[in-house]
């Protein structure tokens, strides 16, 4: 288990936990692009109940292509998106890598939704690439 901490840009939201990293993914879907305002999103997936997010967080839910409900956890003051949840993955939370303090934990295992990747985005050729959501 690894102790983690993270926060939004203004510090209004913080979280901490003692987690086991399940998976780290670079996601190139248009939702991640829009939600983060960046070329892609990088998520560190851990057990939701291992992370304590401050109650100052705001939530935004929207439907995914799959029919699942995606929930963004963000700061209503500075706009940072600190984490996300997917109703199809009960008990798992995806921490947005940029808000996580322990940068050495951010070791992506794959690139997903490569079909909607921004053409200039370079990807590590060593990593698996999936056109959409893996299998
Ligand atoms: Zn903030
Ligand atoms: Zn995505």
pLDDT of 135: 75
Residue 59's DSSP bridge partners are: 73
**What is this structure's pTM?**
0.95
For residue 24, report the distance from its CA to the centre of ligand 2, in Å.
Answer: 12
For residue 65, report the distance from its CA to the centre of ligand 2, in Å.
Answer: 11
For residue 17, report the distance from its CA to the centre of ligand 2, in Å.
Answer: 23
Q: Which residues of the chain have pLDDT under 70?
A: none
The answer to whether the CB of 52 falls within 8 A of the CB of 33 is no
* Domains delineated in the chain: 2-120 (2.170.150.70)
pLDDT of 50: 97
For residue 7, report the distance from its CA to the centre of ligand 1, in Å.
Answer: 8
pLDDT of 26: 98
For residue 97, report the distance from its CA to the centre of ligand 1, in Å.
Answer: 15
């Amino acid at each position: 288990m690894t102790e983690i901490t993270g926060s939004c840009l203004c510090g209004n939201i913080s979280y901490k936990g003692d987690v086991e990293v399940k998976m780290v993914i670079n996601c190139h879907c248009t939702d991640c692009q829009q939600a983060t305002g960046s070329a892609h999103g990088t998520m560190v997936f851990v057990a939701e109940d291992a992370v304590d997010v401050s109650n100052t967080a705001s939530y935004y839910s929207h439907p995914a292509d799959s029919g699942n409900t995606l929930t963004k956890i963000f700061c209503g003051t500075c706009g940072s998106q600190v984490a996300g949840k997917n109703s199809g993955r009960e008990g798992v939370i995806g921490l947005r890598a940029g808000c996580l303090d322990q940068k050495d934990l951010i070791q992506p295992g794959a690139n997903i939704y490569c079909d909607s990747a921004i053409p200039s985005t370079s990807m590590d050729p060593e990593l698996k690439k999936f056109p959409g959501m893996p299998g």
